[in-house]
């Protein structure tokens, strides 16, 4: 199958690069500045699982292959609207959409633009960042990538995708219940990102504080109640794994949202925290920790806008 990653940042660049390394037919849709980096330095991955450097197929909007089978969206949520506006009339009519974005809010948007029958379910877990000079830094050994049908009519296409990439080096997974998997990830991520941003610290640092573990577990309880009322209660094994992650006193783990805040970058506050807070309110679920975390991140966004405005007015 012909696969096109929309973006070659930390997520798309890592998984797309590993697929290229495994010999798959992959291209990257990138902007001019990223195209220049790749042309000059290649696509570079630095990872505990092995470094990799290649010059893959890459192109701008006018270079999309008309035979592309699957477009894999790996952009940040705040860029999704602009990306979709640019792609709507350029993607082949039969091209499927596989989103790897955080949260769930994007599904309603993508369904409305492309039709639900074309939008597969997808998710990933990875600790990776893109440096200013274009290198992808993979910080640990986590590299989970899953896809699956959201409706019966998508099963054949997902099986074909799995037959093509299922043996790649990072062991992609065809999920039998991708939306349950997505809800579990969302419940964990909203709590993880929310508390690390609220406390401005890694998991181990938070656990060293009075009540730190209670705050982490209460946040996860808030998100789990929302998931359960939505029909996707986190399963026992996932709950146990999440509690273990949140209880690791040696962990230096932080959320990508906190890392972006520390670098003064844009964040996915509304897509991850805001959407969960709004869902909780609609279901009459008390979520004081999530609401505090969302307010804290929105305060960061406001301060960033104020700083930008002041700089422009000098």
Asked if residue 93 lies in contact with residue 69, where contact means CB atoms within 8 angstroms, the answer is no
CB-based burial label for 205 (10 Å; 0-12, 13-18, 19+): middle
Q: What is the secondary structure of 181-226 as a DSSP string?
A: HHHHHHHHHHHHHHHHHHHTS-HHHHHTSTTHHHHHHHHHHHHHHH
| Cα–Cα distance for residue pair 236/125, rounded to 1 Å | 19
If you ran DSSP here, which 8-state letter would residue 119 be given? B
Catalytic residue, chosen from 173, 185, 263, 298, is 185
298 is catalytic: no
Check if the beta carbon of residue 226 is closer than 8 Å to that of residue 280.
yes
HSE-CB at 78 with a 13 A cutoff on CA atoms is 10
Q: Is residue 269 within 8 Å of residue 294, measured between CB atoms? A: yes
Torsions phi, psi for 59 (to 5 deg): -160, 165
CB neighbours of residue 135 within 10 Å: 19
Distance CA 102, CA 257 (A): 11
From the list 104, 75, 76, the residue with the least C-alpha distance to 4 is: 75
Phi-psi region of 98 (alpha: psi -120 to 50; beta: other; left: phi over 0): beta
Buried b (16+ CB within 10 A) or exposed e, 186-196: bbbbbbbbbbb
Which residues are part of the catalytic machinery? 185
């Amino acid at each position: 199958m012909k696969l096109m990653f929309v973006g070659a940042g930390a997520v798309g660049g890592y998984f797309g690069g590993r697929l290229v390394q495994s010999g798959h037919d992959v291209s990257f849709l990138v902007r001019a500045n990223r195209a220049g980096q790749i042309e000059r330095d290649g696509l570079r991955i630095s990872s505990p699982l092995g470094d990799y450097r290649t010059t893959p197929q890459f192109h701008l909007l006018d270079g999309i292959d008309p035979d592309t089978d699957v477009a894999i969206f790996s952009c940040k949520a705040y860029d999704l609207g602009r990306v979709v506006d640019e792609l709507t009339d350029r993607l082949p009519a039969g091209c499927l959409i596989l989103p790897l974005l955080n949260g769930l809010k994007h599904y309603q948007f993508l369904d409305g633009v492309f039709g639900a029958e074309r939008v597969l379910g997808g998710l990933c877990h990875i600790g990776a960042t893109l440096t200013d000079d274009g290198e992808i830094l993979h910080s640990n050994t986590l590299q989970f990538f899953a896809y699956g049908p959201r409706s019966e009519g998508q099963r054949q296409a997902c099986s074909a995708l799995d037959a093509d990439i299922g043996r790649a080096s990072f062991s992609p997974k065809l999920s039998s219940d991708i939306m349950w998997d997505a809800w579990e990830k969302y419940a964990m991520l909203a709590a993880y990102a929310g508390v690390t941003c609220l406390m401005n610290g890694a998991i181990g640092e938070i656990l060293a504080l009075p009540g730190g573990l209670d705050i982490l577990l209460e946040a996860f309880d808030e998100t789990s109640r929302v998931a359960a009322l939505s029909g996707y209660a986190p399963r026992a094994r996932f709950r146990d794994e999440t509690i273990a992650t949140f209880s690791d006193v040696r962990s230096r783990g932080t959320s990508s949202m906190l890392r972006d805040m520390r670098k003064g970058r844009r964040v996915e506050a509304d897509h991850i925290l805001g959407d969960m807070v709004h869902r909780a309110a609609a279901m009459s679920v008390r979520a004081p920790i999530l609401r505090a975390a969302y307010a804290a991140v929105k305060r960061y966004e406001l301060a960033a806008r104020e700083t930008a405005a002041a700089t422009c007015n000098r």
